[in-house]
Chains A and B, each alone.
Chain A
Amino acid sequence: MNDRRHLLTVIATLLFAIGLAVVSFLPDVSGYKFPQMIALSIVAIAAIMVLLALIPKKPLTKVDEESIPWGSIWPLLLILVGFLVIMERLGFFVTSFIAFFLIVMIYSPQRLGWRGAIKSGVIAAIFMAVLYLVFVSLLSVQTPQGLLI
């Protein structure tokens, strides 16, 4: 099972490497020599890995792939995507507050009732406030601004 996963991984890597090589060789202008060299090296290394994986019964490369716990991570993925999309519309601090709050609410192991939610909200707000005071007010750091802060 693990060997199969390993084989799939190295084959996928080889395909990715070939993709990079194609992209590097497509443009017809000069200035692409270096990326081409690098892309070819990547293909070479990936090819070696595939060969080694195909030789049966000899575990010459470490087999160290793990499975992806999709069930746990999809909310975080959504939050990250959402962050990028919303940040420029609502402004950095509001978006961060929402993201912070959501991450805490979704990933805390116990069910948080009203009290838990308010506590999380307050902590999130304090965190944002400290960031704002120290960096925006005091140090004049710029943050993405949207409709709100």
Chain B
Amino acid sequence: MELLEYLPQVVSGWNLVILIVGTVVGLLLGATPGLSPTMAVALLIPFTFQMDATSGLILLGVLYTSTVAGGAVSAILVNIPGAPANIATMLDGHPMAKKGRANEALHYCFISSGIGGVIGVLVLIFFTPMLVGFALSFGPSELFWIAILGITVIGSLGSASVLKGLLAGAVGIWISLIGFNPVAGTERFVFSEHLQGGVTIIPALIGLFAIPQVFQMIEDAKRGLSGETFGMEQRSVLTSLVYNLSKVRALSIGSIVGTVVGLIPGAGGQIAGLIAYDQNKKFSSDPDAFGKGEPEGVIASESANNAMVGASLVPMLSLGIPGSPTAAVLLGGLLIQGLFPGPGLFTQHAEVAWTFMGALLVSQILMVVFGLYISRFSKYVIRVPKYYMAAAVTVLAVFGTYSVQNSVSDVIIMMVLGTAMYFAMRFGFSPGPVVLGIILGPIAETNLLQGQMIAQAMDGTFQYFFTGSINMLLIGLCVLSIGYSAIAELKARARRRQSTGRTVEIDP
């Protein structure tokens, strides 16, 4: 089997060095709040020029894997997700940390990432030919329903009020519509020049999560709480491993959802973690425990977003169609080397292709090893006084935002959104739904518009959007999702009514 044939080459000499360096660098970059995975991969493309095709690809692939996993560290420890994929991890990861279970959360994060990642790469290696047809069958109507499915998940995220969550999500969608739209062909809501490029995901993510955290940190510092917020407990990796492996349902849901979402081009792989988290919560016996430090939340989310990595390369390597923004950057890296995706890649450049996939597999294992090792140093990170942390995060936030598109407008948008979010959070709104809205808004609208245009030429809008097996399946999932949220909310209200009279909030 070709994979085994090329495996020794993967772990030899220069390639091994790249694997290790790439993993460590990726983990560190991902763990730094404000720096995003896509940016990290894009930054290193010029370096791959100097290397030969195989090594260059390995570097990019390894970075892709480890930055996604590294982002969870920042999510768990500082409540700032390193990438949109880590938002769901943060929902339960940070509460776990606050309860003194930070190490445990980190362990689950890396172990699940490894498991999900391996599954994703195995799918890439063994099932690519079969899945290509599947990946292609998602057209505008199917993608639109996926976006709607994502939107229905928004309401049930976190433990905040469902109405406020939905409102925040809708505002996020509206914000995403600012700027120039290539399908509609107009510029909308461009009140200031800075808005011409629209509100893009990374500046929004950084602004909405990092800036409120900065405010929180300085508030804590002012109140004299600037020391350790939580302790890092002693926790054996073996114990965590055993527990993690026992959570078969969370792992399976995570890996399957991650693989499927990664396969679908144009769905924006970033929502994999969120959908997995949500589905896992729905199937769990104790949904209320989620959002307060339930390990299954971390396990499902992290296994999903690493499974997505391997899966997103299926359409990329076979058709040249990237399944996620980072895969798109990888595609560029391939093309610069003069290789292009397609069956030819596996026949004429078999060495490159198989070594690359072998490297991806090995990198998952390395990522787990180094991730766990680096977690041991996180106890030093949380001992940093809050005011230093706040200063550092502010600078990194500006830096990370600017480096995405080299645009000062992005930085301004980031700060404005961030400050507004801080005030909104004081009034009970949370940033997660807003970011989701910003991610899903363009997907929903573009596919709706395109779908309408195609439907006009075919049998009509209703036919187009409401027929077809995949469409029906997705619509069914949306209905289930909405129904579930409604029932959950009614149950919660019934419970609240049973408790005495009014709920009294204690002013902090």
Chain A residues in contact with chain B, CB under 8 A? Answer: 2-3, 9, 13, 17, 20, 23-24, 27, 29-32, 34-35, 38-39, 41-42, 45-46, 48-49, 52, 58-69, 72-73, 76-77, 79-80, 83-84, 87-88, 92, 96, 99-101, 103-104, 107-109, 123-124, 127-128, 131, 135, 139-144
- Tell which of B82-90, B185-193, B276-284 binds the partner: B185-193
Q: Is B479 an interface residue (CB 8 A)?
A: no
Q: Is the interface of B mostly helix, strand, loop or mixed?
A: helix
B226 & A109 in contact (Cβ 8 Å cutoff): yes
- The residue in chain B whose Cβ has the minimal distance to the Cβ of A139 is B43
Q: Which residues of A contact B412 (CB under 8 A)?
A: 84
Most buried by B among A13, A83, A92, A131: A13
Supposing A61-B161, A76-B218, A96-B399 touch, asked if A88 and B408 sit within 8 A by C-beta, the answer is yes
- Which residues, 398 to 431 on B, are CB-close (under 8 Å) to A? 398-399, 402-403, 406, 408, 411-412, 415, 419, 423, 426-428
Supposing A65-B426, A68-B426 touch, asked if A107 and B188 sit within 8 A by C-beta, the answer is no
Q: 16 A-B residue contacts at CB 8 Å?
A: A3-B502, A59-B503, A62-B160, A63-B505, A65-B505, A66-B427, A69-B222, A72-B219, A72-B223, A73-B215, A73-B219, A76-B218, A83-B394, A92-B399, A96-B398, A139-B44
Having A34-B177, A64-B505, one finds 13 other A-B pairs with CB under 8 Å, namely A3-B502, A9-B428, A27-B188, A31-B188, A45-B166, A45-B167, A49-B163, A80-B394, A104-B387, A104-B388, A107-B222, A123-B388, A135-B43
Q: Is B460 an interface residue (CB 8 A)?
A: no
Q: Which residues of B contact A144 (CB under 8 A)?
A: 402, 408, 411
Q: Is B1 an interface residue (CB 8 A)?
A: no
Q: Is B346 an interface residue (CB 8 A)?
A: no
Nearest 10 pairs of A and B residues by beta carbon: A31-B184, A103-B391, A107-B387, A64-B428, A100-B391, A31-B186, A96-B395, A72-B222, A107-B221, A62-B161
A60 & B395 in contact (Cβ 8 Å cutoff): no
Q: Is B133 an interface residue (CB 8 A)?
A: no
Q: Is B195 an interface residue (CB 8 A)?
A: no
- Which residues, 211 to 225 on B, are CB-close (under 8 Å) to A? 211, 214-215, 218-219, 221-224
Nearest-Cβ distance from residue B66 to partner chain A, whole angstroms: 17
A-B pairs with beta carbons under 8 A, tally: 174
Q: Is B136 an interface residue (CB 8 A)?
A: no
Q: Is B130 an interface residue (CB 8 A)?
A: no
B189 & A13 in contact (Cβ 8 Å cutoff): no
Nearest-Cβ distance from residue A78 to partner chain B, whole angstroms: 12
A100 & B395 in contact (Cβ 8 Å cutoff): yes
Query: Once the chains are docked, how many angstroms separate the CA of A20 from the CA of B170?
Result: 11
Nearest-Cβ distance from residue A37 to partner chain B, whole angstroms: 10
Supposing A68-B423, A142-B406 touch, asked if A99 and B395 sit within 8 A by C-beta, the answer is yes
Q: Is B504 an interface residue (CB 8 A)?
A: yes
Nearest-Cβ distance from residue A130 to partner chain B, whole angstroms: 11
- The residue in chain A whose Cβ has the minimal distance to the Cβ of B211 is A80
Q: Which residues of A contact B426 (CB under 8 A)?
A: 65-68
Nearest-Cβ distance from residue A27 to partner chain B, whole angstroms: 7
Query: Once the chains are docked, how many angstroms separate the CA of A45 from the CA of B172?
Result: 14
Q: Is the interface of A mostly helix, strand, loop or mixed?
A: helix
Supposing A66-B507, A143-B399 touch, asked if A103 and B390 sit within 8 A by C-beta, the answer is yes
A41 partner, pick from B170, B415, B444, beta carbons under 8 A = B170
- The residue in chain A whose Cβ has the minimal distance to the Cβ of B177 is A35
A103 & B394 in contact (Cβ 8 Å cutoff): yes
Q: Is B338 an interface residue (CB 8 A)?
A: no
A109 & B44 in contact (Cβ 8 Å cutoff): no
Q: Which residues of B contact A128 (CB under 8 A)?
A: 395
A42 partner, pick from B43, B171, B386, beta carbons under 8 A = B171
A141 & B403 in contact (Cβ 8 Å cutoff): yes
Q: Is B181 an interface residue (CB 8 A)?
A: yes
Nearest-Cβ distance from residue B232 to partner chain A, whole angstroms: 23
A73 & B394 in contact (Cβ 8 Å cutoff): no
Query: Once the chains are docked, how many angstroms separate the CA of A58 from the CA of B177?
Result: 37
Q: Is B496 an interface residue (CB 8 A)?
A: yes
A109 & B161 in contact (Cβ 8 Å cutoff): no
Q: Is B257 an interface residue (CB 8 A)?
A: no
B508 & A13 in contact (Cβ 8 Å cutoff): no
B387 & A34 in contact (Cβ 8 Å cutoff): no
Q: Which residues of A contact B411 (CB under 8 A)?
A: 84, 87, 144
A84 & B415 in contact (Cβ 8 Å cutoff): yes
Query: Once the chains are docked, how many angstroms separate the CA of A144 from the CA of B402?
Result: 8
Nearest-Cβ distance from residue B452 to partner chain A, whole angstroms: 9
Nearest-Cβ distance from residue A94 to partner chain B, whole angstroms: 12
A107 partner, pick from B170, B390, B392, B395, beta carbons under 8 A = B390
Q: Which residues of A contact B395 (CB under 8 A)?
A: 96, 99-100, 127-128, 131
A63 partner, pick from B219, B224, B394, B503, beta carbons under 8 A = B503
Q: Is B243 an interface residue (CB 8 A)?
A: no
Q: Is B46 an interface residue (CB 8 A)?
A: yes
Q: Is B174 an interface residue (CB 8 A)?
A: yes
B174 & A59 in contact (Cβ 8 Å cutoff): no
